[in-house]
A and B are shown apart, each in its own frame.
Chain A
Amino acid sequence: MTAKHARNIAFSGIVLIAGAIWIFPLYWALTTSLRSENRIIANTGILLDELNFSAYAAVLSNSKLPMWYLNSVGTSLIITAIVLVIGMMCAYALSQLSFPGRRALYLLVVASFMVPVPALYVAQFILMSDMNLVNTWWGIILPQLIVPVVVIVYKQFFDAIPKEMREAVLLDGGGEFVLLFKLYLPLNWGITAALAIITFISAWNNFFWPFLVVTSEDMMTIPVGITQVNDNFGVAYARMMALALLAAAPVIIGYLLFQKRVTEAVMISAGVKG
């Protein structure tokens, strides 16, 4: 028994060490960001041995990071809200109502999975330009509203709700919208939260599209801003790592706070129940 116990502890230890190695890049970014530039070049060990916040001060005062946060938060929230609402409504119709073209629409949504979205960027860029939306929030948002997985997952969950509950509300004189928002949505808050998290993360982390459609520094999102606007000259490793960590901080903190939900969200969105 004690031998088994000891083995368990040793096993846990090994896994945690592996985990620590896995996360080393983040640790190293932190250590670098807290050193002075000259010491970084002098190459002094891998221990966190200096707490110099000047790189953070320099980055916060010299970059438009706050603006990029705002753009990222704003566009990601709007994308998430719209994607969920329109996806939920469409899924409800697909799941509960019969109308001509229902099957065709569903197949179209499923088939759209196969289209690599970046292959459409040239056409979407032209479209945004025709609509005069290049370098605007809507330019960033609109093409990212296509998230077929939301429709499919919602439909699966709506399908699973017993018909009797639906009939009861209908007999009480409720319409389809009442049904959706008073019955189907409340029954699926869990999945809604999960889909919201997944949609938000992918919108927040999208690089390629905002990189194409944004032209001015003031409109950049976090992932684009930190790569497009930087000091190209001179040694700035501490500042670069400070910038990277500041850019990552919201998602890291968000993940640590809502860990369980995020984990669940990933599993549900891939159709695997945890």
Chain B
Amino acid sequence: MSIANRRRRELRAAILLIAPFVIVFAVFFLYPTYKVVALSFTNAPLIGEGDWVGLANYTKLLSDKLFFTSLWNNLYFVLLTVIPTTVIALLIALTVSKLRGRMQALALTLFFLPYVLPVSVVTMIWSWMLDFQFGVLQPLIMAVTGKAVPVFKNPHWVMPMIAVVTIWWTNGFNVLLLIAGLRNISPDLYEAAALDGATPWQRFWRITWPLLWPVTALVLTLQLILQLKLFDQVYLLSNGGPFNQSYVVLMQMYREAFQLNHGGYASAIAMVLFLVIVIVSVLQFQLLRMGGRK
């Protein structure tokens, strides 16, 4: 077989192989991406044509109080979830990995199970547990604050509680990753350290933490991007309230597009979220790389 022949055959095979993915990718991903960018410069309704309005949607965003509230709430939620969930997952992973055999499997099952639940099941259960009048957790809240609190109706409690629910739901995923990371650390290192008379505390900071850092960094990055895309839990638990104290960017996009029929403006909002996620992930990537070098 000549080389040219073979090359031609390879090219044909390659085209056939990538075609289905490329077509799907182009039609349902690249085209919508282009479309969102294009729509954000028009005053189009959700369904139907609009006129080019230049940067009008973006200038309107700058004076939209709800938009800044939403953006702030997104960032606040990131603060409330990303680091806490990583710390909790790390604690759980460290203890669970000390268990052996069946015990470990059982413990892992208990901590991972919530992750496989559909979000609406999670929110239904937690709204019931935190129900102001009949919730089983209200006595606990009462013990701490002295009175029952309607958590999803209280401006101070709403975001932290959505964060708690979210952590409960998604934490199992992080635990798994960290356990995998822990398993990859050679036991020899710990034995050597033990022989040197290192305390458990020293062992953690000198062996576990640095060797686990790549996985920890991965967890942080995945969480950050995931939590910025918050919508489901807010929509289902608090619907953005009370007085917009839990409104987030995707809620506003949904509202503008589907409730108020402003396709163009909703696209501009989506663009901002898009940019925020790109910037934040690039920044975090750089930061984490620096952290890893230490």
Contacts and interface: CB of A to CB of B under 8 A. Distances in A.
Interface in A105-134: 105, 108-109, 112, 114-127, 129
Given A99-B14, A241-B124, A266-B176, A274 B117 contact: no
A247 interface: yes
> In the complex, which range does the number of interface residues on chain B fall in?
35 or more
A56 interface: no
Contacts of B254: 212
Please indicate which of the listed interface residues B125, B129, B258, B271 has the most CB atoms of chain A within 10 Å of its own CB: B125
Please indicate which of the listed interface residues A116, A146, A226, A274 has the most CB atoms of chain B within 10 Å of its own CB: A116
A176 B99 contact: no
B24 A16 contact: no
A237 B33 contact: no
A29 B99 CA distance: 29
B132 interface: no
A15 B104 CA distance: 9
B125 A247 contact: no
Interface stretch (B143-151, B153-161, B178-186, B201-209): B178-186
B120 A227 contact: yes
B69 interface: no
B68 interface: no
Contact of B120 (A126, A223, A237, A255): A223
> In the complex, which range does the number of interface residues on chain A fall in?
35 or more
Contacts of A93: 13-14, 17-18
Given A205-B119, A226-B121, A119 B22 contact: no
B274 interface: yes
Interface stretch (B57-65, B75-83, B108-116, B189-197): B108-116
Interface of A: 11-12, 15-16, 18-20, 22-23, 25-26, 28-29, 32, 40-41, 43, 46, 82, 85-87, 89-90, 92-94, 97-99, 102, 105, 108-109, 112, 114-127, 129, 142-143, 145-146, 151, 175-177, 180, 201, 204-205, 207-208, 212, 222-224, 226-227, 237, 240-241, 243-245, 247-248, 251-252, 254-256, 259, 262-263, 266-267, 270-274
Nearest to A29: B125
